[in-house]
Structure 1
Amino acid sequence: MKANPSPWAIETLYANGVTGFDVASVPEVKIVAEHAPGARMAFMHPVKSRRAISEAYFDYGVRTFALDTHEELAKILDATGGAKDLNLMVRMAVDAEGANFSLSGKFGVDAFHAPALLMATRRATQELMGVSFHVGSQCMRPTAYQAAMAQVSRSLVRAGVFADVVDVGGGFPSVYPGMIPPDMDDYFAAIERGFNEMPVSETTELWCEPGRALVAESTSLLTKVELRKGDALYLNDGSYGSLFDAAHVKWPFPVKLYRGDGEDAHEVEGELKPYRFYGPTCDSLDHMPGPFWLPGDVQEGDYIEIGMMGAYGVAMSSRFNGFGDTETVEVQDAPMASMFGLARRSIPAPKTAQRSNVVRLSRPKGGKRRRK
């Protein structure tokens, strides 16, 4: 849900057999309830309001909740009326290398305090007690999962408890320019090795929370060039819209250039040059340094397709400065890059490997829109 809460994404996953969703708020709970009826939900945000816990439990049947403190454990029990049918997941802090963004600073009980919390959580429920962690977003090193599982194992041994669930969290990567991860099978193999070495029972369940890897390939952004200043292109979408990662973590997403409208539209090819992007707002932070490699004759009125925007591109857009109007259309071309099957390469996949794709069309009010 965090990576892409679009109803079409939830419906597609649900239709293809995904019946469990990680949620972090009541609005996300409502989206799943509406678009994936009957799906299991796990409220894996370690810090929740009492109202959110109560509403999720009593109104939507959520039974799985994460925590990383004794205080949060007490809050969950109180907000659910002392319920005994809870699945409680202790979020553990782990040291992991290989991720583009570390997620270890905000959540997770450390190794010193973990045993007491694990024991208290074990006593608090008659259902499942589990452990979870997160190795960091866009993890490029499969062995990071195995190392994290070893750290969690030591805390379980010190606590003298078995885990009914081991949730290895997210971090599963996708393909971006300059970031070509190992094969996904390498990640699964490392997790299997780590799981086999953990102090677990035969009935212990292994969970994961893939976000980016599931949806990154699903969306492109089609944005318009409003002005060119040398190597700087001013677009009608930016860091406060769909390009948060391009601005704030400086990811150079794959791009293509198109010229013309309607049936006259065509892809522009030629010698590639590096460009930087600016968004439509008045804020100088609305800057995407790239480099984004496009033909040298980019002009005002051209369209730039920015690929691999399915993860967080939709989720993090806002209406700052009055911008943010988009139109979403469904197309049937292959993603610009892929982690899966024949398409696993950092260039466009062959047309025989087509998959459903969604293009977000960003435009100012009154501007022309172009459907690809």
Structure 2
Amino acid sequence: TSTHLGGLKESLRSPGSPWPAELIVLGPGGSARQEVLRKIQELSDSVHRDPFMVADLDMLASRHATFRQALPRVWPFYAVKCNSSPWVLRVLAALGTGFDCASQVELEQVLSLGVAPSRIIFANPCKASAHIQYAARRGVKLLTFDSEEELTKVAKHHPEARLVLRILAEDSKSRFPLNTKFGASLEACGHLLTRARDLGLAVVGVSFHVGSDAQAIADCRRVFEMGCGAGHHMSLLDLRGGFPGVFEEMASVINAALAQDFPEDTGVEVIAEPGRFYMASVCTAAVNIIGKKAVLGPGGHRRLLYYLNEGQYGSFRIFLREPTPRTPIVVKEFLSEPHLFPCTLYGPTCDAFDRLSLEEVWLPELDVGDWLIFPSVGAYTCSMSSTFNGFPPAYVCYATVRQLRSLLEMAP
């Protein structure tokens, strides 16, 4: 595996931060959750109780192993947009994954690790011309498209590209449906494939958002036949991301569909672009209650408003897109089973819309200074954060066992 770690002692902290610059190497029997609780105890003795996350890099490696076992024919190209932390990218580079990039900055991030251009797909169907030119200069040849206008740009700026046609697929089961923005209809594919040929461009494959049923793979078979009829050598199927529901069940459906429509003897290479599946369970966040207000709701029932030092403008913006609110784990001991109240969780900014969900959650009565833990917040949290109103997002520290650290140290 070709990757340059740039030194394991590289500092990922801001000047003056009290956090360690190195990876936290967990001892025998240690866990990321224990590290979260240890850090909470440490910060509870200080007036500075800033929000933080602990990223379990071993969980990331475990998710990679699970993906490969469940989908042995499918090689993952990790979606960088999901979480672009240098340590996350380094671990995945060392494990040999490919990478799905959507911009020049993401290309630069991955290429700076020493990842070969052949392990990258520039998977944004609508790219700036300057970004296409950068990909051409750096030898990144695998690009997606879904329109004639995109073909014109590629023909001008990257004629040696190997193109992947993104098609529309039914994606109502996907966490984030994308069909309103991207994808070519089956009716348009024949024209696009012919137009690519006339422009001297090579189309090598088809992609779709996997948040759909197996019919999409059968549709790709039809587009492969269209491509071959137009003179293209079709050799790549890209399932993209958006794995919904129970992963093992979806993997079984995908494997059966591949066996039927793209059996192994066809020689078709199959890739996917998972993001959330890899990252969701990797990070655990700890936030502090910095304010509290009790109000009377309809019928005189008591409601509680908790103001946290992290919110949707920080690491929790993605929460507002989720169908059900996140109920955090309370880090506090009670002498008996506490009474629960309907609670609204607000972030720290002055924006009244800075709340963690539109619905209330049920929590016991807590005090200013108490801590809440949110597990499984590794996907689309850090990468969507901002410093609105002067509040920095949660700091992230990275934990690993000694074996994974050894893998990183040995990577060339």
User: Is TM > 0.5 for Structure 1 vs Structure 2?
Assistant: yes
C-alpha separation in 1, matches of 2:337 and 2:345: 19
Matching residue of 2:397: 329
C-alpha separation in 2, matches of 1:130 and 1:209: 14
Aligned CA distance change for structure 1 residues 324 and 291 (closer, same or farther; 3 Å): same
Q: What is the CA distance between 1:307 and its match in structure 2?
A: 1.5
RMSD: 2.9
Confirm or deny that 1:278 pairs with 2:341: no
Confirm or deny that 1:307 pairs with 2:379: no
Higher helix share: 2
Aligned-partner SS, 2:331: strand
Matched length? 309
| TM-score, length-scaled by structure 2 | 0.68
Higher strand share: 1
Q: What aligned pairs does 1:254-273 form with structure 2 within 5 A after superposition?
A: 254-258=327-331, 270-271=337-338, 272-273=340-341
Among 101, 104, 109, the residue aligned to 1:26: 104
Q: What aligned pairs does 1:1-372 form with structure 2 within 5 A after superposition?
A: 1-18=80-97, 20-38=98-116, 40-58=119-137, 60-80=138-158, 82-83=159-160, 86-121=161-196, 129-136=204-211, 144-158=212-226, 160=229, 163-173=234-244, 181-182=245-246, 184-198=247-261, 202-230=266-294, 231-249=304-322, 251-258=324-331, 270-271=337-338, 272-289=340-357, 290-294=359-363, 296-331=364-399
| TM-score, length-scaled by structure 1 | 0.75
In 2, are the aligned partners of 1:258 and 1:304 still within 8 Å (CA)? yes
Matching residue of 1:367: none
Sequence identity percentage? 30
C-alpha separation in 1, matches of 2:120 and 2:197: 21
More deviation in 26-35 or 323-332? 323-332
C-alpha separation in 2, matches of 1:123 and 1:145: 33
In 1, are the aligned partners of 2:102 and 2:124 still within 8 Å (CA)? yes
Q: What is the CA distance between 1:156 and its match in structure 2?
A: 3.9
C-alpha separation in 1, matches of 2:105 and 2:175: 28
C-alpha separation in 1, matches of 2:273 and 2:254: 13
Q: What is the CA distance between 1:331 and its match in structure 2?
A: 4.0
Aligned-partner SS, 2:261: coil
Matching residue of 2:61: none
Aligned CA distance change for structure 1 residues 49 and 128 (closer, same or farther; 3 Å): same
For structure 2, list consecutive stretches of 5 or more residues without a partner in the other structure. 1-79, 295-303, 406-412
In 1, are the aligned partners of 2:164 and 2:204 still within 8 Å (CA)? yes
Higher relative contact order at CA 8 Å, sep ≥6: structure 1 or structure 2? 2
Q: What is the CA distance between 1:155 and its match in structure 2?
A: 3.8
Aligned CA distance change for structure 1 residues 299 and 241 (closer, same or farther; 3 Å): same
Aligned CA distance change for structure 1 residues 327 and 95 (closer, same or farther; 3 Å): closer
Larger Rg: 2
For structure 1, list consecutive stretches of 5 or more residues without a partner in the other structure. 137-143, 174-180, 260-265, 334-354, 357-372
